[in-house]
Amino acid sequence: MTETRRIALVTGGARGIGASISEALAADGLIVAVADIDSDAARQTASALPRDGHDGFYADVTDEASVVSLFDAVSAKLGRPSVLVTCAGILLFKEDGSRPLVVETDFDHWNRTMAVNAAGCFLCTREYARRAPDRDELGRIVTISSVAAQLGGYRSSASYIASKAAVLGLTKALARELADRGITANSVAPGLIDAPMLRLSLDPSNDAAASATIPLGRLGRPDDVASAVSFLVSPQAGYVTGTTIDVNGGYRMQ
């Protein structure tokens, strides 16, 4: 009997946390569509994934037409995705590399951050929902938020914090609206993860001090986040929806 493999679309999947998520899902047996604004990097990441059948695609998640074209291309080449992971994100700083305060944040900075992190998530999840069947027992949406949205952030700008908080609210809305179609929607909120975005604000020489603020005593790894995503898209997570999994080593405890 021919194996039927589920198809996962991972935006921002070419590097960092997104690449680790793509690798984990491929190792789990899914066919992965790696989408990124850097199409060459997307194809390179896809070609290195375990097993076969994966491919890389160009996508600008801030552009509605680009998102529609992405879903068209993935569906035509690989098949309709039953799994969507929205990992595309951006964190902007001032020219000197410091975090802008609210009073220093210009409107272009705010809009650019919101366009990628919040509107990009909306456009991708909306397109997924529009194309999903009336009933999909293995339909999964996983959004990537941040511990910054829950704590108000330390290294992150107000625009980043607000955009990732919007992702949490959108995810809950999706969970309610799609529940009767058998589709779950959950978020993962990473803490201090040793990935390119963290390195924008944390020099490796400061790793020890940063790790000391984390109960588990170390920075997170991209595969720590990928493991949470792997669970949420699995059949075993069929009764989990509308929630956020914190992957932060105990950095934020309630």
With contact defined as beta carbons under 8 Å apart, do 214 and 250 qualify? yes
- Secondary structure of 146-188 as H, E, C letters: CHHHHHCCCCCCHHHHHHHHHHHHHHHHHHHHHHHHCCEEEEE
With contact defined as beta carbons under 8 Å apart, do 16 and 5 qualify? no
**Vertex 64: Cα angle to 196 and 169 (nearest 5):** 65
Among the options 58, 128, 154, 160, which is catalytic? 160
Around Cβ 48, how many Cβ atoms within 10 Å?
13
Q: Catalytic annotation on 160?
A: yes
Tell me how far apart the alpha carbons of residues 12 and 195 are, in angstroms, rounded to a whole number: 13
CB-based burial, 184-223: b 16+ in 10 Å, e otherwise: bbbbbbbbbbbbebbeebbeeeeeeebeeebeeeebbebe
With contact defined as beta carbons under 8 Å apart, do 121 and 86 qualify? yes
Active site residues: 160
